[in-house]
Chain A
Amino acid sequence: MADAATPTPPAEKPATTTGILAPGYSFTTLTDKIASIALSRRTPFVWFIGAGVGFLLTMMLLTALTWLLFRGIGIWGVNQPVGWGFEIVNFVWWIGIGHAGTLISAILLLLRQPWRNSINRFAEAMTIFAVACAGIYPAFHTGRPWLDYWLIPYPNSMGMWPNFRSPLIWDVFAVSTYATVSLLFWYVGMIPDLATLRDRAKKLWAKIIYGMLAMGWRGSARHWSRYETASLLLAGLATPLVVSVHTVVSFDFAAGIVPGWHATIFPPYFVAGAIYAGFAMVMTLAIPLRKLYGLEDLITMKHLDNMAKILLATGLIVGYGYVVEAFMSYYSGNTYERFMIWNRLHGPYKHAYWALLFCNLVMPQALWFRKVRRSVPWLFVIAMVVNVGMWLERYVIVVVSLSRDFLPSSWGLYKATVFDWATFIGTIGLFLALMFLFIRLLPMISIFEMRAILPEAKVREEEAEA
């Protein structure tokens, strides 16, 4: 770090710590604070309510899916001409939400942004649970989920081979790679903390379970050195996935020629939208969590401010997408393209489109003001509005485009059935249930990475080098 010629400044608080961790913590108190949530602290009453609601809604999801297997996808609202309804809308919505977790864990790690350290763990958990929820939809949308392995290209006696020109098959690879890498990244990143929990656990069964999960971690220099290499490699692998997954999802639409789907701007616009929706969800989770467990020292206003800025920036990119789409539909001079925008603005689903414009384009502009970015209630409201807005965006793209394409004689309206709603709300329940289990059982903030940003860590680093 510092060579002999330039005198090192006195060991004051390094600039990078400003605002991302409240002062006054030491290695021990910080570890205590995070580990006690899983080990010793009393589970708050709100947790039981939240986990209970999540559990009940998960039961509803299972009921809806069982009935679906019994009766077939006719119980959903999809039909001609709207063959993709809630299920694809929800698939894209959930997959998008996952992206913020990967961005925080991989890209911000490579960019050496220390403020990510307190939010990356639960953001990654959010990614995995969101991808799990997303995966349910296409798997069941095939109608016969027990034959889903046909999607995988393997030599078989039926002479069947997937069409590699179809983005739908790219989706199979993109999403399964994404799920695998995210899970691996999350788990590998947790190993040192699992060892901490193992060492601090008082109960025998907790020692055994955390011990097995920690895979013999002893914290030796060799362990740490290999760990650093592994996490950098995984970050490198995950980085292209932030872009590729939603790019492929956008191709699912753009490769077709339906007006409203076939737009060349879709790939970057979808990726920005995914990060936008994902950060909104991270804020939706972070704001209640820090309140509930008193983590305001670790997830500070600086974190919320930074996330709000990313929300604003990605929201503006999404807004650019809307503007360019509308302009080009006029500029194309093409009857169908022009009708597409007219139909969004004045057609049967106009309320969805206007609401989407308000949620995604108008409301987030409040984030230009520092006062709003520093106000927790405002941030929570804006994050919720964006969550809704990004769901509406996918609804407008999927349903409105299909309901009125080229031939007026084959137009038709889509209406979600009670089973569509049950499945959708059911996956929100599954997501909540998994999230509540996670914060109860695992360290929701990375203990060792938080220790690394303590001023104490810097002093030891310098001592070691001297």
Chain B
Amino acid sequence: MDATNDSRLAGETVRLSRAAFVVGLVALGGAVAYGTAHPDQFFHSYLLAFMFWNGLTVGSLAVLMLQYLTGGAWGISIRRELEAATRTLPLTAVAFLPIAFGMHSLYEWTHADAVAHDEVLLKKAGYLNAPFFLFRAALAFAIWIAIAWALNRWSREQDSSADHRAVDRKLQLLSGGGLVAYALTTTWTAVDWVMSLEPHWFSTMYGVIYMAGQGLGALALATLAVVRLSKTRPVSEFLGGRHMHDLGKMMFAFTMFWAYVTFSQYLIVWSGNLPEEISWYLARFRGGWGWVGLAVLMLQFVLPFLLLLSRRANRDPRTLTLAAALVVLMRFIDLSWMILPAFSQGHFRIHPTDLTVPLALGGIWAGLYLRNLAGRPLLPVHDPGFEEALAHGRD
């Protein structure tokens, strides 16, 4: 089959990408102008924006490794979308810098006087201190970028060479080790960047909840992209009903997994009802935040669950798009529910910057993502499983 990208597609993608950059830069200008006057508020919103877009990026890396490891047609159908997202990692690494500068506005444990009067924070100071915090962030980004670089490079080698058995093996091997590294980095970054906003609180499930959420978001974004791209060549010649069904089932599984780990954490904290643990939920149930939590439950789990339950809905591009878009949106709401109550204990307070700053970072991210997507062939035709995946969709 002809795997070259449709020229109209390239033009459209570049136009879209430019538009996204413009939106992002304009919003960024506004946000920075506001931020110089109100740095605390700016950094609060910025953390949310960073966690959302970086989560999609790193989640894509994880799903990319998962599909190399397990094989199967579903992975081949979204590989290039996932790869495009992982190549935004240099951007999200740079996007971390404002957090490094805004640490003082975000994290109570950076205030020496607060730590000095707090027995628990004193005990944690060996871990929660600025130099170690920055080192861990740098290490996490170094690991992610190294993995993403290698996976993208080898995938390119696979595209261009006839004999790529050695490359296939390397891709699988790195994916195995890489997923172990992903689990550890995601856990410590989730603890560092978000959990430590409320430095007395702790939960062993926390890292798993982030992994589930990032995987879910990345899968939904890739599904959105591939269904949209299937309107033109070459994806139109590839993507079949069964591929969409597989993607729908994967999303279904991830949304159940997310609900499972989220609910388990809640049930255990609720039944223990210890003051140092339950406080996290009280801040997220009171003053109106409870409604947001309920919306997350209904729209990130119940509705996608029902939408993706039937075989016909999974194979209908419009229903699948709707479910995927809903999931991506709810990832943002879910992260808001996890992050923002930390800044306004017990009060429901959102600020316009909670929307504009994510939009600013998102515009730039989306612009880069689209450019990455258009820059390479959209189908990995030299993958050893490609022919089988192509036939799989035709049934």
Residue numbers of A with Cβ under 8 A of B are 1, 3, 6, 15, 165, 243, 247, 251, 254-257, 262-268, 316, 320-321, 323-325, 328, 330-334, 368
Contact = CB atoms under 8 A, between A and B. Distances in A.
B202 A15 contact: no
A255 B260 contact: no
A417 B381 CA distance: 65
Chain B interface bracket (under 10, 10 to 19, 20 to 34, 35 or more): 20 to 34
B107 to A, nearest CB: 14
Contacts of A333: 119-121, 123-124, 200
11 contacts: A255-B272, A262-B274, A263-B268, A264-B206, A265-B204, A265-B205, A266-B264, A316-B180, A320-B184, A325-B204, A331-B191
Interface in B163-190: 176, 180, 183-184, 187
Contacts of B268: 251, 254-255, 262-264, 266-267
Contacts of A165: 271
A106 to B, nearest CB: 14
Contacts of A257: 272, 274
Given A243-B260, A247-B264, A267-B268, 4 more contacts: A264-B264, A324-B187, A324-B204, A328-B204
A325 B274 CA distance: 18
B203 A15 contact: no
A56 B121 CA distance: 59
A414 to B, nearest CB: 24
Contacts of B12: none
B133 to A, nearest CB: 13
Nearest to A271: B260
A264 B260 contact: no
B204 A268 contact: no
B282 interface: no
B390 to A, nearest CB: 11
A257 B274 CA distance: 8
A267 B260 contact: yes
Contacts of A262: 268, 272, 274
Given A165-B271, A251-B268, A331-B127, A264 B205 contact: yes
A165 B203 CA distance: 22
Contact of A334 (B184, B206, B276, B388): B276
Contacts of A324: 187, 204, 207
B303 interface: no
Contacts of B264: 247, 264, 266-268
Given A331-B191, A331-B202, A268 B120 contact: no
A364 to B, nearest CB: 13
B267 A1 contact: no
Contacts of A323: 184
B124 A331 contact: yes
Given A255-B268, A265-B208, A333-B123, A328 B202 contact: yes
B269 interface: yes
Contacts of A328: 202-204
A263 B261 contact: no
B2 interface: no
B160 interface: no
Contacts of B180: 316
Contacts of A267: 260-261, 264, 268
Nearest to A166: B271
B113 interface: no
Contacts of B265: 264
Nearest to A247: B264
B260 A268 contact: yes
B203 A264 contact: yes
User: Nearest 4 pairs between A and B by C-beta?
Assistant: A265-B204, A264-B205, A333-B123, A267-B264
A268 B259 CA distance: 12
A109 to B, nearest CB: 15
A3 B395 CA distance: 9
A255 B187 CA distance: 23
A85 to B, nearest CB: 23
A371 to B, nearest CB: 14
B243 to A, nearest CB: 15
B274 A320 contact: no
B345 to A, nearest CB: 20
A129 B261 CA distance: 30
A178 to B, nearest CB: 17
Contacts of A15: 388
B82 to A, nearest CB: 20
Contacts of A320: 183-184, 187
B205 A255 contact: no
Given A330-B127, A331-B191, A333-B121, A268 B202 contact: no
Nearest to A267: B264
A155 to B, nearest CB: 27
Q: Which of A3, A263, A324, A325 has the most CB of B within 10 A?
A: A324
A424 B276 CA distance: 39
B182 to A, nearest CB: 11
A186 B268 CA distance: 34
Nearest to A263: B204
Contacts of B184: 320, 323
A368 B127 CA distance: 32
